[in-house]
Amino acid sequence: MAQGIDSSAVYQQYDRMEMLKAFDDTKAGVKGLCDSGLFQLPQIFVRPPEELASELKHKKGQVQVPVIDLSGRRREIVEQVRSAAETWGFFQVVSHGIPQSVCDGMIDGVRRFHEQDVDEKKKYYSRDTTKSVRYHSSYDLFMSKTATWKDTLTISCDSSYDRDELPSVCRDSTVEYSKHVEILGNILLGLLSEALGLNTDFLGKMECSKGHRLHCHYYPACPEPQLAIGTCKHSDAGFLTILLQNQLVCSLQVLCEGQWIDIQPVEGALVVNIGDLLQLVSNGKLRSNEHRAIANRIGPRISVACFFSGPIDNTSKIYGPIEELITKQNPAVYKGVAMGDYVMNFLTTGTEDYRALDYYKIGL
């Protein structure tokens, strides 16, 4: 937060639910607000005073998360992935096998969707999480303390995936990117399996990559970024996340030892991070770290997060610490969890209040 801002004066009492509903009913999202000529942040997007004040306590670190070249020697790559996954929970990858033209096409497709006529976008607007394709703003809008400064097109690429359901403006680019990122996800899970001392296909056989979701975010330029948040602090609930982003502005930050570390965009790179379920099955060896996206005066920032969350439709499927990793010296620290319960906890809790691992620690 900038010095001299009286956050308590900005964050005043108001009928929050009424304003949230009015915003949601427009189905025009944050971009619709910006297109209306917005000069001041609506109160539903203003973070609470205590949260803004806490920004002063978190120093900003200058170090950078590891950048790993996947074209190097296998043994060296596995060691680099292990080190990054155990310490940061984040790393960037280059020489990842996805053509730059495919990445650029995906970013351009997301831009075309969000910048098309609002009446076309409204056809996809929904808060029904069972829909394979849906457009919305702040998935936890009515549960969170602060509405996030972004709009999102969510696409579920599971067994029932039908390309004809995709918006025509981004259909081809999405299908092409989805194929490539699924391959990369399995490559990374193979490297992580080896990093854990397991067979290359171990995490794959656990169905960690079964189905994946693309969250296509559009962050417009914000008139008062010091008061807003693009994506609030959270950890990812699934196994693994691969993030594609345009190079316009640095917004992604990871929390490390009380410091917010900027993840500087690297040309041609994708950001990879460990999710809560992977920390759970690795019995805490791999780290799922908290992160966020800040708002900026420059925009739009466009990103595509691909979440590998496992077989979420198989509600009885149970995940717990991998038996091969459990010893007398290294006992299980997490309970097993049924996917149905796990997903329900996630969907019924606001992002900033949710930390999946807290529910499943043994002894709590």
Other C-beta atoms lying within 10 Å of the C-beta of residue 10: 17
**Residue 236 CA from chain centroid, whole number:** 6
pLDDT for 138-173, tens place per residue? 888 888 889 999 999 999 987 667 888 999 999 999
Question: Is 280 domain-assigned?
Answer: yes
Other C-beta atoms lying within 10 Å of the C-beta of residue 13: 6
- pLDDT at residue 364, rounded to an integer: 56
Q: Is the model more confident about 185 or about 61?
A: 185
In whole angstroms, give the CA distance from residue 149 to residue 31.
9
Contact 46/225 with Cβ under 8 angstroms? no
Please check the confidence at residue 12 and state whether its pLDDT lies above 60: no
- pLDDT at residue 9, rounded to an integer: 44
- pLDDT at residue 22, rounded to an integer: 94
Question: Is 149 domain-assigned?
Answer: yes
- pLDDT at residue 8, rounded to an integer: 47
Question: Is 102 domain-assigned?
Answer: yes
pLDDT for 102-117, tens place per residue? 999 999 999 999 999 9
- What is the 8-class DSSP label of residue 59? E
In whole angstroms, give the CA distance from residue 166 to residue 218.
17
- Number of domains comprising the chain: 1
pLDDT for 316-345, tens place per residue? 899 999 999 999 999 999 999 998 888 887
Question: Is 4 domain-assigned?
Answer: no
In whole angstroms, give the CA distance from residue 147 to residue 111.
21
pLDDT for 239-252, tens place per residue? 999 999 997 788 99
Rg (CA), the chain: 20
Please check the confidence at residue 2 and state whether its pLDDT lies above 60: no
Contact 245/300 with Cβ under 8 angstroms? no
218 falls in which pLDDT band (50, 70, 90)? very high
Specify burial of residue 40 (Cβ count, 10 A radius: 0-12, 13-18, 19+): exposed
- pLDDT at residue 351, rounded to an integer: 57
The tokens for 267 are: 């040309």
Please check the confidence at residue 32 and state whether its pLDDT lies above 80: yes
pTM: 0.92
Question: Is 62 domain-assigned?
Answer: yes
**CATH number, domain containing residue 253:** 2.60.120.330
7 falls in which pLDDT band (50, 70, 90)? very low
pLDDT for 305-315, tens place per residue? 999 999 888 88
Question: Is 192 domain-assigned?
Answer: yes
Among 347, 351, 305, which residue's Cα sits nearest to residue 152?
305
In whole angstroms, give the CA distance from residue 258 to residue 252.
16
For 332, the domain range is: 15-359
pLDDT for 73-132, tens place per residue? 999 999 999 999 999 999 999 999 999 999 999 999 999 999 999 999 999 999 998 899
Q: How far is CA 83 from CA 86, 112, 196, 284, in A?
A: 5, 38, 11, 14
Question: Is 5 domain-assigned?
Answer: no
Other C-beta atoms lying within 10 Å of the C-beta of residue 246: 18
Please check the confidence at residue 4 and state whether its pLDDT lies above 80: no
Question: Is 8 domain-assigned?
Answer: no
